[in-house]
Amino acid sequence: MGTAAGGVGSGPRYVQIADEIVQQIRAGILKPGDMVPSESELVERYGVSGGTIRKAMVEVRASGLVETRHGKGSIVKSRPPVRHRSSDRFRRSLRQGGQAAYLAESAQSGATAKVSVLYIGPMDAPEDAAQRLGIPAGAQVLARRRLYFRNGTPVESATSYLPWGVVKDIPELFAENPGGGGIYARLEDHGHEFAEFVETLQARPASKAESSELALSPGAPVVHLIREARTTAGLVVEVCDTLMAADQFVFEYRIPADD
């Protein structure tokens, strides 16, 4: 999708129609809170079948620019400012200053942040997390599942998996609020000094359950990020499985040019 507003690009007819609607939203012709024209209006406007319009609206919803409300149709989203997710977010100085990464970034961007804790407790390690942690699949881990809000909108969900042998003697990690600097500060307090954080990202459409949790339109784009927290002793002491609403984040990384 990349044609100017008012023009229809190449490709199947439903893609052309979706492209034009998306460009109208991006150009401000359709503003936040506006209703997207109904199926019957679009059928008349473009001279196509209802099936073609329904296909087009699947593409429009996948853009993440509209939300569908039962019985009302599709409405252009009010999109809060995009938040930068920087490679500086895990600096030790932030933890020592009592700031967890998400709250520190949100404060820097002037947003109101909230973290809702959904679950803290023992869990059998999922296969991927277990492999990254270097433990058998199904071994007991501590799971910490959170939902993150920005200006009242859910933008990110995350589940941390921590080896039971590491956390069993750190009672703060079982608390809803682990204290200033978050769980990484508590791990370092107990001798687990971090050497690096390794993140793997994949963009994909949200599942039905994910769309519901993050208040997205069905099939809206999300970024699936998995982070490994590695210590100077060569241990992975946390795997964090994170899902983010793609239109809420810009990723910024600092890549050293020297050896």
Indicate which CATH number applies to the domain containing 28: 1.10.10.10
Inform me whether the pLDDT recorded for 186 exceeds 70. yes
Tell me the sheet residues that pair with 199: 227
Collapsing DSSP to helix, strand or coil, 7 comes out as: coil
Note whether residue 6 is domain-resident.
no
Mean pLDDT, the chain, as a whole number?
A: 85
pLDDT the model gives residue 27: 78
Residue 1 inside a domain? The answer is no
Q: Give the phi and the psi of residue 113 in degrees, each rounded to 5.
A: -110, 150
Report the number of distinct structural domains present in the chain.
Answer: 2
Q: What is the pLDDT of residue 141?
A: 98
Model pLDDT, residue 49: 94
Q: Which of 39, 60, 76 is the last residue of a domain?
A: 76
Answer yes or no: is 187 within a domain.
Answer: yes
**Residue 7 pLDDT > 90, yes or no?**
no
Q: pLDDT per residue over 8-51, tens digit each? A: 445 789 999 998 998 888 778 898 889 999 999 999 999 999 99
pTM for this one?
A: 0.69
The confidence band for 110, taking pLDDT boundaries of 50, 70 and 90, is low
Are residue 33 and residue 139 in the same domain, yes or no? no
Please check whether residues 244 and 130 belong to one and the same domain.
yes
Q: Please report, rounded to a whole number, the percentage of residues in the chain having pLDDT higher than 90.
A: 53
Domain span at residue 29? Answer: 13-76
The enclosing domain of 161 has a CATH number of 3.40.1410.10
Q: Within a domain: residue 258?
A: no
Least confident of 28-37, 72-81, 160-169, 211-220: 72-81
Is residue 193 in a domain?
Answer: yes
Residue 149 lies in a domain: yes
Q: What is the pLDDT of residue 1?
A: 42
Q: In sequence order, which residues have a C-beta less than 8 Å from that of residue 233 and are 6 or more positions away?
A: 192, 193
Q: What is the rounded CA–CA span in Å between residue 163 and residue 239?
A: 9
| Residue 61 sits in the same domain as residue 112 | no
The CB-side HSE value for 75 (13 A sphere, CA atoms) comes to: 12
Tell me the two tokens of residue 30.
């359709």
pLDDT, residue 251, reads 87
